[in-house]
């Protein structure tokens, strides 16, 4: 029997009613509202012949045992940013639930392979600044020494917040045991960007997650009085930074999917009557091709040094964070493309700029693909985040098709 | 008898010892340290045949009555910014004192015209953000309704702070009575800029204070995810602001003495992973020629609108503050030029970018000129502010010459 996509939409609406306030979704990981969302979700499972448990990193696993221990994992995350939308993360969890339910019915509770549903813990990293928390523990790429002492705005340590959810930070690596005989991981997510909408397509196939280079770049010039310092003798740190803010754009535009963003500029002393003596900026560059990303970074660095020299300044770089590009599995990309075509007539393949738990799963060596559904106006992490109901319905149907194709492949 | 410039330097050193700490001068107006500086200064006057009083705005007046009531006013300000230097303001007051003393001696206590020394109250506006407080009251350009309720960092109102110094804010306009038969005002000050040092000149003649246009300029674009938003569809408010930050420089450089500064840039949301949706900047433009200043402002405004349109943004301007250019008196400029040449061999005429009490006195219709002495590295409002001792000595000598020429002119 086919999936009932309207049920997924009704579930999403229920979850919104339960966990959003006037400012949007409030399912911040490790919070009471997040735990409430998870308890509600567990309630949905009660009529299914499934086993449920939390792993050592707080990921929530629901297993429908099959004839074989080989498993297909479906999932996403229930946690949200503060004042978030009604779809980011939970669409993937609730669509996976609907697919799991349909498979359980179709195979009278015993499919040929094991089907698992995962709700990853703390994808967003909204409270402690550590995103992909649970999936990185699963993948063995977790970073306990760096994360243990992280604190939230109230000074509460990550370690303490986890302990209140019965998670011991030192043991989160044990989540790797969940990999078992996983044969594939599939994730449905909203695009969170404007590409599919601009192409008037409801669905897309994700080629992988872009590599990210994230740097803090500080220009040092000379603070000076805005009234008494002639233009010719200024060493204006803002001027060097402004040149870089503009130059990163042609650097990115040389490549079809590359992006480069200066998201933060801080000026010191930062008053109307002083030439800027120090300018702190951030740079975020992304591309699916590691070579392209490396060359963009090198070009930006060279440009920053040239601009610093032109303005009598110096420049200093420090890496905030980086991750390599993570391409998804070619066979699964092909299945996903077929499923999208069969459901919506037309497909489009695109890289994901935002990171997702799927990237961590791929790092564990498990074949992975993601499906995107259109986001209206590209908005996400925002209560205005939205997708047309008919597109959500197509997404659940196409995701079901993808799961069936993958199940069949794993069973051969 | 000639002035004894070494005495002025010794006075400056005494004042520093009395009112500076490890972080610099702390003679913030209306503070206990400022009152201590004023009391010390009054002590210096005790051997002279002078009358002393505070006017209704807290300006401190010392009068050496002459044969005629026509008066020559010399002065500057004893107040400093927090962590200030040892010369800004107090050089002018203490050099004026030395000149007054020499004139009193030369004329056996009764010069042909009246010589007055003024220490203006709160030139810096460091505590309440209202600079030229006392001199504007003298000139009748004071702004009681806007200033009455100003508060300092501790929430203390300007009105209260004044009352503790026996000043009633409602009555400060009575300081206009001090104008009397004032025939000229002369002020010696450090340059606070790098021009004279670059020309290897100890002294300069000030042509006037530049007009200032000070504006807040905000660009509105669209906040967007740095990973999922293609370069081609971004509406990046920072890009528009960066273009303006660079464009104000050629606009200013068309004119020999003009300056334009973007001193503050704030990005919103201002995080590494978001395209800037709103960018708040400040612009400060200055020139001695009102027409030049107006055309610079018009060019900057047109450029900002062009850049906003190019980036799919909008821009909004709001004036923070402005003042017209205030040219000094041509006859006094000529006297000052002669005095500088006679003392240092060579002179240079330049506008002042920073404002000074002299500008307010000029607005009252009194002929005014200022003399600058070189600042090392252009530094001021900083404990590292400095001027070579030999330049300070030349400054006191040249200022004495200027005072004698002006006295002679007023007596004719």
Residues in chain A within 8 Å Cβ distance of B233: 194, 198, 378
* Residue A379 Cα distances to A42, A86, A139, A207, A230, angstroms: 29, 12, 29, 21, 45
Instruction: Give the single-character DSSP code of A303.
Output: H
DSSP run (H or E) holding A369: strand A368-373
**Cβ A270–B258 below 8 Å, yes or no?**
no
Q: What is the pLDDT of residue B62?
A: 98
Between A134-138, A404-408, B143-147, the lowest mean confidence (pLDDT) is in: B143-147
**Cβ B378–A225 below 8 Å, yes or no?**
yes
Q: What is the pLDDT of residue B380?
A: 87
Instruction: List Cβ neighbours of B367 (8 Å cut-off, separation of 6 or more).
Output: B183, B184, B185, B328, B329, B331, B332
**Cβ A194–B258 below 8 Å, yes or no?**
no
**Cβ A228–B378 below 8 Å, yes or no?**
yes
**Cβ A227–B352 below 8 Å, yes or no?**
yes
Cβ(A378)–Cβ(A191) under 8 Å? Answer: yes
Cβ(A372)–Cβ(A305) under 8 Å? Answer: no
**Cβ B226–A355 below 8 Å, yes or no?**
no
**Cβ A263–B273 below 8 Å, yes or no?**
yes
Instruction: Give the single-character DSSP code of B47.
Output: G
A410: distance to nearest CA of chain B, Å?
32
- Compare all CA atoms of chain B with the CA of A250 and give the residue at the minimum distance: B231
Nearest to B317 by CA among B207, B214, B412, B215: B215
For the stretch B191-217, what's the b/e string if a residue is b when 16 or more beta carbons lie within 10 angstroms of its beta carbon? Answer: bbbbbbbeeebbbbbbbbbbbbbbbeb
Strand-pair partners of B151: B157
Nearest to B130 by CA among B100, B169, B163, B73: B169
- Residue B363 has a CB neighbour count (10 Å cut-off) of 19
Band (A1; pLDDT cuts 50, 70, 90): low
- Compare all CA atoms of chain A with the CA of B191 and give the residue at the minimum distance: A228
Residues in chain A within 8 Å Cβ distance of B227: 193, 210, 212, 259, 284, 286, 352-355
> How many inter-chain contacts (A to B, CB under 8 Å) are there?
198
DSSP run (H or E) holding A136: helix A133-139
* Residue B57 Cα distances to A164, A340, B155, B299, B310, angstroms: 63, 79, 21, 40, 51
Distance CA A182, CA A69 (A): 8
Nearest to B262 by CA among B308, B315, B211, B216: B216
**Cβ B261–A286 below 8 Å, yes or no?**
no
Residue with tokens 């800004």: B88
Distance CA A64, CA A89 (A): 21
A177: exposed, middle or buried (Cβ count in 10 Å: 0-12, 13-18, 19+)? exposed
Q: How many residues does chain B have?
A: 412
Distance CA A145, CA A143 (A): 6
Distance of CA A213 to the CA centre of its chain: 15
Predicted ipTM? 0.87
Distance CA B16, CA A411 (A): 87
Nearest to A77 by CA among A37, A118, A18, A40: A118
Distance CA A250, CA A270 (A): 28
Cβ(B383)–Cβ(B25) under 8 Å? Answer: yes
Nearest to B189 by CA among B374, B403, B20, B347: B374
| Residues A28, A29, A30: CA angle, nearest 5 degrees | 115
pLDDT at A381 over 90: no
- Compare all CA atoms of chain B with the CA of A212 and give the residue at the minimum distance: B227
pLDDT at A407 over 80: yes
Cβ(A178)–Cβ(A61) under 8 Å? Answer: yes
Nearest to A158 by CA among A136, A125, A118, A124: A125
Nearest to B238 by CA among A191, A313, A260, A306: A260
Distance CA A338, CA A100 (A): 20
Residue with tokens 């806007």: B146
Instruction: Give the single-character DSSP code of A301.
Output: H
**Cβ A225–B355 below 8 Å, yes or no?**
no
> Which among B272, B279, B381 has the least Cβ separation from residue A284?
B272
* pLDDT average per 10 residues of sequence, chain B (412 residues): 92 97 96 97 95 98 97 98 95 98 96 98 92 96 90 93 95 97 98 95 98 96 92 97 98 96 96 94 96 98 98 96 94 98 97 95 97 93 93 98 98 88
Distance of CA A153 to the CA centre of its chain: 22
**Cβ B261–A275 below 8 Å, yes or no?**
yes
> Which among B225, B245, B272 has the least Cβ separation from residue A264?
B272
Residue with tokens 């492949």: A409
Strand-pair partners of A21: A24
pLDDT per residue over A21-37, tens digit each?
A: 999 999 999 999 999 99
Tell me the pairing of strands B182-190 and B68-76. Answer: parallel
Instruction: List Cβ neighbours of B350 (8 Å cut-off, separation of 6 or more).
Output: B191, B195, B196, B204, B205, B206, B207, B257, B372
Residues in chain B within 8 Å Cβ distance of A227: 193, 210, 212, 259, 284, 286, 352-355
Q: What is the pLDDT of residue B292?
A: 98
Residues in chain A within 8 Å Cβ distance of B198: 233
Average pLDDT of chain A to the nearest whole number: 96
* Residue A282 Cα distances to A306, A391, B262, B330, angstroms: 18, 36, 19, 51
State the average pLDDT over residues A227-256: 97
Query: What are the structure tokens assigned to B354, written together?
Result: 């920073």
- Residue A38 has a CB neighbour count (10 Å cut-off) of 21
Distance CA A303, CA A306 (A): 5
Distance of CA B93 to the CA centre of its chain: 14
The residue of B272, B279, B303, B377 whose CB has the most chain A CBs within 10 angstroms, and thus the best one to mutate to test that interface, is B272
Distance CA A127, CA A156 (A): 10
Query: What are the structure tokens assigned to B171, written together?
Result: 């009555």
Distance CA A119, CA B203 (A): 75
Q: What is the pLDDT of residue A176?
A: 97
- Residue A125 has a CB neighbour count (10 Å cut-off) of 17
pLDDT per residue over A255-309, tens digit each?
A: 999 999 999 999 999 999 899 999 999 999 999 999 999 999 999 999 999 999 9
Residue with tokens 């050193």: B13
> What phi and psi values does residue B349 have, to the nearest 5 degrees?
-105, 130
> Which among B231, B245, B282 has the least Cβ separation from residue A253?
B231
State the average pLDDT over residues A325-332: 98
Collapsing DSSP to helix, strand or coil, B402 comes out as helix
């Amino acid at each position: 029997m086919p999936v009932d996509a309207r049920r997924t939409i009704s579930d999403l609406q229920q979850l919104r009613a339960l966990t959003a306030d006037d400012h949007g979704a409030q399912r911040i990981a490790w919070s009471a509202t997040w735990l409430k969302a998870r308890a509600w979700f567990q309630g949905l499972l009660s009529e299914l012949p499934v086993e449920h448990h939390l792993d050592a990193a707080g990921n929530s696993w629901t297993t429908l045992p099959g004839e074989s221990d080989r498993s297909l994992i479906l999932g996403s995350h229930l946690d949200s940013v503060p004042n978030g939308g009604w779809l980011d993360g939970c669409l993937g969890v609730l669509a996976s639930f609907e697919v799991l339910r349909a498979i359980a019915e179709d195979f009278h509770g015993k499919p040929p392979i094991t089907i698992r549903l995962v709700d990853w813990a703390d994808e967003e990293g909204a409270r402690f600044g550590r995103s992909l928390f649970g999936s990185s523990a699963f993948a063995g790429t977790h970073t306990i020494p760096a994360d243990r002492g992280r604190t939230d705005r109230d000074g509460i340590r990550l370690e303490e917040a986890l302990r209140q959810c019965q998670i011991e930070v030192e043991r989160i690596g044990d989540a790797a045991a969940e990999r078992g005989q996983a044969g594939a991981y599939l994730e449905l997510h909203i695009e969170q960007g404007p590409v599919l909408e601009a192409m008037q397509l409801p669905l897309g196939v994700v080629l992988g997650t872009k590599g990210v280079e994230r740097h803090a770049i500080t220009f040092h010039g000379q603070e000076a009085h805005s009234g008494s310092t002639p233009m010719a003798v200024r060493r204006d740190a803002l001027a060097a930074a402004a040149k870089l803010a503009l130059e990163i754009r042609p650097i990115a535009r040389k490549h079809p999917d590359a992006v480069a963003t200066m998201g933060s500029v801080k000026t010191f002393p930062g008053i109307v009557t002083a030439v800027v003596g120090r300018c702190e900026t951030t740079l975020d560059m992304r591309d699916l091709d590691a070579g392209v990303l490396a060359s963009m970074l090198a070009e930006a660095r060279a440009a920053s040094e040239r601009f610093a020299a032109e303005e009598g300044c110096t420049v200093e770089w420090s890496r905030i964070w980086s991750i390599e590009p993570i391409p998804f599995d070619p066979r699964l990309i092909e299945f996903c493309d077929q499923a999208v075509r069969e459901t919506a007539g037309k497909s489009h393949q695109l890289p994901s700029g935002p990171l997702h738990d799927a990237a961590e799963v791929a790092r564990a060596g498990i074949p992975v693909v993601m499906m995107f559904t259109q986001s209206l106006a590209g908005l996400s992490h925002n209560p205005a985040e939205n997708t047309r109901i008919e597109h959500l319905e197509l997404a659940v149907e196409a995701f079901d098709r993808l799961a069936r194709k993958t199940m069949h492949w794993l069973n051969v």
